[in-house]
Amino acid sequence: METDRAVLAELARLRSRLPDLSATVIAGVDGMLLAYDAPGLQPETIAALSAANLGLTQRFAQTVGHGELRETMIESSGGYVAIYAAGLRTLLAVLAKPSANVARIHHEARRTARRLGELLDPVEARRPVPVQPAPVLPVDSQVPLAKRTPMAALQSSVPGQRAG
């Protein structure tokens, strides 16, 4: 229970420091919602999409040999979505208005994500783990990257009908 109060206090502190935030969500890397302050939004959806985004960008960073991913930022016409790794199994997603100061968001949210990681990660999980570089696969320039089959050419699972 004490951890729950501390997590909610971190969210409140972050929102008080950044008035241009429109939502904050804490989720597991599996997309499960842990805590939120997201008035008028669907926090479960934000949690799931944030986990998917973080997982994809982590894989991208590993593939290109850039090591451990710390954060990802999305800028759109309606504002910003920043997703931060908050320990080993948790993430912090913050949504901000277009008028927000991105440098300030990063400064405050990084600090909050670090504290959340300390609160939510088990003590034994905080030990440093050596990073294994992603394997470099040989590329044969003579082999096409993919063979594509038009949907209309696929067989339907319904007798007498074609797919597409």
One-letter amino acid at 82 equals A
Quick check: is 156 in a domain?
Answer: no
Tell me phi and psi for residue 85, to 5 degrees.
-70, 130
Could you list the pLDDT tens digit for every one of the 164 residues in the chain?
Answer: 576 889 999 999 999 999 999 999 999 999 999 999 999 999 999 999 999 999 999 999 989 989 888 999 999 999 999 999 998 899 999 999 999 999 999 999 999 999 999 998 875 454 555 556 666 666 655 655 555 556 655 565 555 555 55
Q: pLDDT digits over 119-149, tens only?
A: 988 754 545 555 566 666 666 556 555 555 5
Q: Is 138 contained in some domain?
A: no
The two three-digit tokens of residue 139, written as one number: 């590329």
Domain tally, the chain: 1
Is position 87 within any domain? yes
Q: Provide the 8-state DSSP code for 128.
A: -
d(CA 81, CA 110): 14
Query: Is 132 inside any structural domain?
Result: no
With 0.75 as the threshold, say if the pTM is over it: no
Q: Please, is 15 exposed, middle or buried when counting C-beta atoms within 10 Å of its C-beta (0-12, 13-18, 19+)?
A: middle
Structure tokens at 28: 């597991």
- Position 24 scores a pLDDT of 95
Question: Is residue 71 in a domain?
Answer: yes
Nearest Cα residue to 21 out of 82, 112, 110: 82
Residue 44 belongs to domain spanning:
2-126
Is residue 102 included in any domain, yes or no?
yes
